[in-house]
Amino acid sequence: MDIITPGPKVLILGHSFISRLTQALAYDPKLSPDFNLAQCSVSCYGIRGGTVDRLQNNEDINAHIQHFQPSVIILQIGGNDLCDPGLKPETLACKIVDLMFDFQLHYSFVNKLVVCELFTRTQPWYITAEQYENKRSIVIIRCYPSCTRLYIVCKYCEEAVSPLILSHQDAS
């Protein structure tokens, strides 16, 4: 559900967490689909079991982005990818960066891209919690800094300590 107000448009895009958030916003009257943000329009789009590859090659997402035309895209991605025992964290980081550059290349109206920190998981699929955490740490510590204009959005967006914001305009 999209709430259109004057000002920038923000798309929150990601895996099943965002899908569940979208459902909660649509059906729980206590929650506000626009997060009570009067200064911007917000749209959430999540894919259950979403991986970076599934998000990058998804025609429905492309159509949604083209229709909504956000100036900011916030990505909550990568957690499902980390559960793949054969995927190296360095490869995942490259895929995330490639997705961001692809978005900037194909959507000229997008001014900022934000990648949220990978969530921790106590019971990941196909690997142990320790393996997941080791891979997650590698992506955060080693791989994100390979980008320019880098910041990593901390858990729950409480503070910015080094999240990944890539922008073809000044990110100030």
pLDDT digits (tens, 9 = 90+) for 35-82: 888 788 999 999 999 999 999 989 999 999 999 999 999 999 999 999
Q: What is the pTM of this model?
A: 0.80
Over 50: is that where the pLDDT of 31 sits? yes
Domain 9-150 = CATH 3.40.50.300: no
Residue 166: which of 103, 117, 76 has the closest Cα? 103
pLDDT-based confidence at residue 170 (cuts at 50, 70, 90): very low
CA angle 151, 109, 79 (to 5 degrees): 40
100-108: long-range contacts, CB 8 A cutoff, minimum separation 24: 100/75, 100/147, 100/164, 100/166, 101/166, 102/56, 103/65, 103/73, 104/166, 104/168, 107/65, 107/66, 107/69
Over 70: is that where the pLDDT of 4 sits? no
- Measured in degrees and rounded to the nearest 5, phi and psi for residue 116 equal -75, 155
Structure confidence at residue 93 (pLDDT):
87
Asked if residue 111 lies in contact with residue 52, where contact means CB atoms within 8 angstroms, the answer is no
